Structure 1
Amino acid sequence: MSANPAPATPDLTPPAPTSPNPTTSRKRARPTKSCFECRRKKLKCDRLQPCLQCKKLGREALCTYAHGPPGPPDSENAERSPKRPKVDVSRLNSWGGEAARDLNAPIGGYVATALPMDYKTTVQESTDRTDESQSKTSGRLQVEGSKSRYIGLGDRMTLLDHFPDEKEFIIGSFTDATMAPIVNEMTIFQRALHRKIQPLDRLFEDRTALVAEMLKSLPENTTVEALKERYLTNMETVLRVVHVPTFRRQCSELQSFRTAHNSTLPSTVPESVLAQLLAIISIASRLIDSKDLKTSEQAISEERVTTYLTLIPKWLDSLKSKERLTIDSLRVETLLLMARFANMATLLNLWKESGGLVRAAMAMGLHRDPEHSSDLSPFAKEQRRKLWQTIVELDLQFSLATGMPCAVQSSDIGSRTLLLVNDDDLVEDMPNYPVERPLDAWCDALPQNLLASAMKPRLDATNLLARDIDFNADIDRILFLAKYLELGMRSIQARLPQQPKMKQRLLSDIMLDVHLRRPAIALYQTVALSDQASRHPEARKGVLRNSVAILTHLDALDPAIADLDTIQSKDYLNFFHILFRDDIIKSSILLCYEIRAFYLPVINSPPVDPALLDNSEESIPWTKHSLTRIVESTLNSYLQRLGEFGTDLKIILPLSILLQSVRFDGTPEGKRDLMIKGSERVLQACRKAIPLPRAQDAQPQNGTAPNTQTPPLSNMPTGESWNPHQGFGIVMQLPYENGIPQPIGNGDFNPNVNGAGAFPNFELGFSDWDLMDQSWFGSY
């Protein structure tokens, strides 16, 4: 991989002033030569390409000129400014390849200056944009009284804004005579699915008492061992946090000592290991199929998981300031963030926590490559690099999902590549680095190494999407980076060695694939859903390719379809639904968008620049019917796992309504009937799968409600009859006030606790907004 030549040092000496012409009072207009970013930020530009200011701030990819940089057009400038953006395939081929062999090379082969510098831009400043151009920018601010929230481009349910009829139907269903009984009955099912558990509310005298409680809360040793190994074999691949041999040894010592001494910790095991173990159990407890007898014996109750997620922050808060500046405590914070994500914490809170975690790592200096530090052993250096990569990766993923900027820029990533070795090859007292394994052989570090090789362009993509995007200036840049990422992803996937079929390898490959696809699909989606989509058919093709690829992973993990010698249980399918819940629903809604618009000629038109894509990508192999089958299969996967952890009717109901609607091009009345059938289908599945709470738990807290049992569903598929009084002993009494259905507790379906009448006047883009009492769109 050849490095870019360093630009010549600019001559910043100002020219000698010339005497003004006394006969001329009018000044000559100064030509525009500074780059866009320097002009926007009012910085002095040296007018190179990229300029010094953009290089210092890591904005090489954004350094563009309205009329090109000054200076005569020499051969070097001609190479840098081709007529159309071209992908530097030589750099793409180095992702996860030869660059990984060079221990002194920075992560990956991507250099921001590889992006073309001749993007079409507008001379108009962003502050001078008209209202029309402002409406094309990403993200929006929602305000209600003194409360406000920024909704980023990554917010999943804002996709429903592109389905105005269906969105209006969902909002109106709370007062609609036909739909109100259906959604209010679903309110009870939703509450049963999301029963809130009170966290541990207890004060401890000192840290010794807290550690004793943490140790006491552990399940039996056999369960601890099974869950610990489940985590280590499945998660310590793409996201690596602990040193596996050391952690196994410490956990073995802890369990042995615990058997003899019930409430004390061995002196050879740090307290941080206990905190790490609690977080790991909380994560691994979600890799389970509750209907599988083998795994149900190792199940952890929701109360116990909630206790773990309460005890760990208490332990972290008990640490003194210097005690927080250790790798072990940073590992606890990282595992806690992953455990909260696996236990359905809101993405906005996770994004805030991941940013704090990045800064905690920076306070320890993990963002600086430790190679030249004589105070650190080779073992400690590699552990720091591995943990830093995981922390940045988590922040990138949560930032992309929320449409927010990352805590770091691509210029902050300068550590050398991770060693291609197994954790067993890394020993604490090793004097030198071990010999790396070949690229065509599997090792523990390979997935994270390959993911790290694409870190810089993915960071650039995430931070670009978090900007105030103006399509007139940014659309070419967005599309080029998306294609660059896609080609790099294919190069990475081609380097994965072929191994015998193993569930752990399958999950690792899927996690790597989705993490690599997320930025590309977000970039393509930005263009494909804009009013300029018809001018850029390659964006819609990119959305189709990546959305179908993500949803195909459901089949690979479903025992009804997958290879039976690899997948026998739904544990991995359930885990995929939890870890990639946002990707599944986004991809499904995007395919619904294409199903509705499939008659447009854009789908079958050739790309604008075929040289940027393989010849196999010039046509789309899917039909409207095949896309419908994919979404239908995804909806079935949702319905079949009703009752499992992570099931959310706020996702399933809109998708069922959308799928019925986009398949129909007839009258509004016919579309309404189909959307009602889609709602009834979800309700019928709930009645069969979800145990309802006792009658007193389903009643409203204040006031009385008339007996408004849901009438029999019309047009429902025939099957066994259902009696709400049998089995669960519940009388369906739903709360009404002034003829308007009222919510029942938290996590229900009614979006407005003060009455539905005011809701349509406030444009809430189907987003998570717990503080606004929009409980229908609550945490996920």
Structure 2
Amino acid sequence: MMEGQQQAKTVKRPRPVKSCNSCRQRKLRCDRTCPCSQCVKSNRPCKYANDQDVGGNASYSDGGSDVEASSPRPAKRVHRVAPPQYLPDAGLPSHAHVQNGQEHRSASASSSLLDVFGARLERLERLVLSKGSPGAAEWGPSSRTHHDAGFTSVAGSPGKIRGLSVKGNLRTRLFGQNSTRVLLNLFDEARDFILNSSNNENLRELFVQLQSIYRAMQEEHRKALSPITVFIDSMVPVQKRMADILPKKVACDRLIEAYIGASEGLYRIIHIPSFRAEYDQFWQTNRPSDGFLPRLLCMLSIGARFETDSRGLSHDRSDGVHLPTACALVRTYLDSLRGKQLVDINTLQSEVLLLHAQRMVSTRQQESWTQLGLIVRMAMTMGLHRDPSEFPQIRPFFAETRRRLWYTIADMDLHVALACNLPCAIRDGEYTCRPPSNLDDDDIHPDMTRLPEPKPIDQYTNTQLQAYAARTLPYRIRVSTIINRLDSLRDFQEVLDCGAQLERILDDIHCLFPRNHALDPRGKFKEWRMRALLDMHVRRPLLALYRPFALSTVDCPAHISTSYLKSSMTMLTYMDELDPRMPGFVDVSHMYNVVLKHDIMQAAFSVCYYIKSARESQASGMNGYLGSPEVIEMPFVNALDPRTIWSTLGMTKTVEKTLDALIGLVKDSSCDMKDVVVLSVVLNSVKAVPTEQRLETIKGGVRRVIDACLQALNTSSEAMSSMTVR
């Protein structure tokens, strides 16, 4: 027998091919039928080298035909799992694959088993996911398609989260959840009143007058924000023109102090002692460095918004700097820079200061969002997103100022992104820059070789607010990530986890900076203003995180609704801590409402939504905490405190007070009269008044806004009507 085997090994002759081409190529056991079982399972065409040798029941004789040496090898086909109808019902391999234990352990049988089980698994996934979508049961799409098809988002209807303005299919603009247009969709009665005003004879005249006033105020704002042409169109070098519009040193000193007191808290852009030294040298020699005048003009413009009676819009240089002209000249200067000048730290500071100044008078958040994208990439080009410790050639003083500037840019980016409901340019994990240390500006200087030990975070310095806010930035950036992928959220767990972290941060802020701490009117309540801004820095992303669910999802967790209402009420009642009779209250109130006008407007709409919900609950016989008839006033101590309760009457009075403050701002260029009108309509539509009186109540609220606008324009309704007729 051994001799026979050795002889067989020595004899080399071509073996006749009995298997089909596909099984031979894949080295699978073929049962030599046509089609064979392997090709049936894999949904492949079954072909033999010589079709005449294989019939429906091919024999296992050795008389088959040989494959010619010149015959081409079948092309390799991409394997595709068979559709469900071709799978064996029993789910087991056929008898040709399990004839004995040795064949079962072979590689070919293992490959066949994997094919079968893989096909069965895909079929099972399709059957499970087919309940969520009718198209998921069809064979062919990828597993990702099936996974997405069976998914249900927890977010509310798109019309209550975002909107798109389309003009002729060519001009489009996206409006996020913070937009008045989107918030109006929460109030059906107010929306019908505004959209159907042209169909009602009683309302048409009112809205025609309103449109005339709006156009007149837009023209007033356009004139006020137009730069002085003699400086813009001049052929004199831009450095000389920037120096020519400066007010006298006394006025500059006052405006610089106003800027430092109002802005150099959460946003740290300059090193104050270094800038003061450069500032004094300028007035002594009148020879500024290249990047000094742009920074100076922007700082004067920001200070003029809070310190002058004209709010920076007067042409009289004795009052201060003309903000539109200053910003236009700085923009001209920055656009003229080339090469190495674009990676100079003074240039980056000028860009940030210019954006900060323009946001004080502009209502166009999307333009700020676009400009911030440029600033972020400019900062990354300069390496500010990497920690200075990675570069030994950067001295400690400049390393610390770079950290401060980077976190200022990151905070601005997050703020504007949340306002526009658009993604941040900076995402967590894409930067290594560490937060700035809690050090006073006097503690660091350019010649130092190492930084001093940072002070405890609860110890006051002029960098304390930014040092604390920078440590919370990753949690706040996470909010932007979540709200820009609302459609992919499966449940509320991620939202609740992120919100709980922000609420703990708010509790820490209240411990570090108690709200009921003694108020010092000196410096226009600087400590109170800085604490309020820090609180809003964290409360703003918390509201943005909860808003899509609290205002549009029926099965929203109770904690989200409660916490959202508390934060909205907190934002509207912050000014209640100050006594209106104290000196400086008017300036602080104006500053608060101008800086936070968008947040205040959104909070007012949100409280109106809760008033409407409470009224509807009362009408349906439900007795929720919102409909409680008694007013319980409690200080806001803990964001998670369940004891804080407001009645519908208390919430209504709070929104009315907020509306009064916003009506007082209609003359300001940063205020949009349309938003004030819409808020007035919404508030009066949710008030607890009889149905037959509601229309007159809404009309009365609109007339009140019209009267305030006419007073701001220093005209009368008759004069406005005559202008409309002409």
Please give the range of the TM-score, normalised by the shorter of the 2 chains.
0.7 to 0.9
Q: Does 1:636 align with 2:660?
A: yes
Written as runs of structure 1 = structure 2, the 5 A alignment for 1:366-445 is 366-445=384-463
Q: Distance in 2 between matches of 1:441 and 1:375?
A: 31
| Amino acid corresponding to residue 452 of structure 2 in structure 1 | P
Deviations along 1:82-118, one digit per CA (max 9) or x if unpaired, are: xxxxxxxxxxxxxxxxxxxxxxxxxxxxxxxxxxxxx
- The answer for the alignment partner of 2:293 in structure 1 is 274
- The answer for the alignment partner of 1:150 in structure 2 is 174
Q: Structure 1 residue aligned with 2:496, among 479, 483, 487?
A: 479
- The answer for the alignment partner of 1:230 in structure 2 is 258
Deviations along 1:549-572, one digit per CA (max 9) or x if unpaired, are: 111123346725xxx2xx434122
- The answer for the alignment partner of 2:378 in structure 1 is 360
| Amino acid corresponding to residue 733 of structure 1 in structure 2 | S
Q: Does 1:571 align with 2:560?
A: no
- Gap change, CA 1:581 and 1:133, over 3 Å in 2: closer
- The answer for the alignment partner of 2:116 in structure 1 is 26
Gaps of 5+ in 2: 1-104, 123-143, 627-636
RMSD value, Cα: 3.4
- The answer for the alignment partner of 1:733 in structure 2 is 722
Deviations along 1:206-249, one digit per CA (max 9) or x if unpaired, are: 99711000000112221111111100122101011001111112
| Structure 2 residue matching 1:442: 3-state secondary structure | coil
Written as runs of structure 1 = structure 2, the 5 A alignment for 1:293-304 is 304=322
How many residue pairs were aligned?
572
- The answer for the alignment partner of 2:543 in structure 1 is 521
Q: Distance in 2 between matches of 1:425 and 1:207?
A: 44
Q: Structure 1 residue aligned with 2:203, among 175, 179, 184?
A: 179
Deviations along 1:502-536, one digit per CA (max 9) or x if unpaired, are: 5111111111111110111111111112233x441
Q: Structure 2 residue aligned with 1:656, among 646, 671, 680?
A: 680
Q: Give 1:180 deviation, angstroms.
A: 3.1
Q: Give 1:384 deviation, angstroms.
A: 0.4
- The answer for the alignment partner of 1:139 in structure 2 is 162
Written as runs of structure 1 = structure 2, the 5 A alignment for 1:681-700 is 681-692=704-715
- Gap change, CA 1:131 and 1:506, over 3 Å in 2: closer
- Gap change, CA 1:466 and 1:731, over 3 Å in 2: closer
| Structure 1 residue matching 2:662: 3-state secondary structure | helix
Q: Distance in 1 between matches of 2:154 and 2:494?
A: 21
- The answer for the alignment partner of 1:96 in structure 2 is none
Percent identity between the aligned chains? 25
Q: Distance in 2 between matches of 1:212 and 1:452?
A: 38
| Structure 1 residue matching 2:429: 3-state secondary structure | helix
Q: Does 1:551 align with 2:572?
A: yes
Q: Give 1:278 deviation, angstroms.
A: 0.9
Q: Distance in 2 between matches of 1:203 and 1:482?
A: 50
- The answer for the alignment partner of 2:100 in structure 1 is none
- The answer for the alignment partner of 2:330 in structure 1 is 312
| Amino acid corresponding to residue 732 of structure 1 in structure 2 | S
- The answer for the alignment partner of 2:50 in structure 1 is none
| Amino acid corresponding to residue 627 of structure 1 in structure 2 | M
Q: Structure 1 residue aligned with 2:239, among 199, 211, 215?
A: 211
- The answer for the alignment partner of 1:244 in structure 2 is 272
Q: Distance in 1 between matches of 2:531 and 2:495?
A: 26
| Structure 2 residue matching 1:617: 3-state secondary structure | coil
Q: Distance in 2 between matches of 1:644 and 1:558?
A: 24
Q: Distance in 1 between matches of 2:488 and 2:362?
A: 33
| Amino acid corresponding to residue 191 of structure 2 in structure 1 | K
Q: Distance in 1 between matches of 2:454 and 2:586?
A: 36
- Gap change, CA 1:596 and 1:316, over 3 Å in 2: same
Q: Distance in 2 between matches of 1:207 and 1:297?
A: 23
Q: Does 1:530 align with 2:549?
A: no
Q: Which has the higher helix share?
A: 2
Q: Give 1:135 deviation, angstroms.
A: 4.1
| Amino acid corresponding to residue 381 of structure 1 in structure 2 | A
- Gap change, CA 1:554 and 1:18, over 3 Å in 2: farther
- Gap change, CA 1:647 and 1:691, over 3 Å in 2: farther
- Gap change, CA 1:665 and 1:559, over 3 Å in 2: closer
Written as runs of structure 1 = structure 2, the 5 A alignment for 1:318-337 is 318-337=336-355
- Gap change, CA 1:403 and 1:678, over 3 Å in 2: same
Higher mean Cα deviation, 651-660 or 152-161? 152-161
Q: Give 1:19 deviation, angstroms.
A: 4.7
Calculate the TM-score normalised by the size of structure 2: 0.72
Q: Distance in 2 between matches of 1:643 and 1:133?
A: 38
- The answer for the alignment partner of 2:511 in structure 1 is 494
Find the structure with the greater CA-based Rg.
2
Q: Structure 1 residue aligned with 2:703, among 656, 663, 680?
A: 680
Gaps of 5+ in 1: 1-15, 33-121, 259-265, 606-612, 693-722, 737-743, 745-780
Q: Structure 2 residue aligned with 1:170, among 194, 197, 202?
A: 194
- Gap change, CA 1:161 and 1:18, over 3 Å in 2: farther
Higher mean Cα deviation, 483-492 or 332-341? 483-492
- The answer for the alignment partner of 2:532 in structure 1 is 510
- Gap change, CA 1:17 and 1:213, over 3 Å in 2: farther
- Gap change, CA 1:136 and 1:478, over 3 Å in 2: farther
| Amino acid corresponding to residue 190 of structure 1 in structure 2 | Y
Q: Is the 8 A contact 1:447 1:508 kept in 2?
A: yes
| Structure 2 residue matching 1:148: 3-state secondary structure | strand
| Structure 2 residue matching 1:365: 3-state secondary structure | coil
Q: Give 1:393 deviation, angstroms.
A: 0.5
Q: Is the 8 A contact 2:247 2:317 kept in 1?
A: no
Q: Give 1:594 deviation, angstroms.
A: 0.4
Q: Distance in 2 between matches of 1:614 and 1:242?
A: 35
- Gap change, CA 1:433 and 1:301, over 3 Å in 2: closer
Q: Is the 8 A contact 2:231 2:325 kept in 1?
A: no
Q: Distance in 1 between matches of 2:342 and 2:661?
A: 43
Higher mean Cα deviation, 550-559 or 137-146? 137-146
Q: Distance in 2 between matches of 1:386 and 1:542?
A: 32
Q: Give 1:684 deviation, angstroms.
A: 2.8
- The answer for the alignment partner of 1:608 in structure 2 is none
| Structure 1 residue matching 2:649: 3-state secondary structure | helix
| Amino acid corresponding to residue 646 of structure 1 in structure 2 | S
| Structure 1 residue matching 2:174: 3-state secondary structure | strand
Q: Does 1:591 align with 2:607?
A: yes
Q: Is the 8 A contact 1:192 1:691 kept in 2?
A: no
Written as runs of structure 1 = structure 2, the 5 A alignment for 1:610-629 is 617-629=641-653
| Amino acid corresponding to residue 506 of structure 1 in structure 2 | W
- Gap change, CA 1:476 and 1:521, over 3 Å in 2: same
Deviations along 1:383-439, one digit per CA (max 9) or x if unpaired, are: 100000000100000001111110111112432231111111111101110232233
Q: Distance in 1 between matches of 2:419 and 2:235?
A: 36
- Gap change, CA 1:393 and 1:291, over 3 Å in 2: closer
| Structure 1 residue matching 2:721: 3-state secondary structure | coil
Q: Is the 8 A contact 2:507 2:639 kept in 1?
A: no
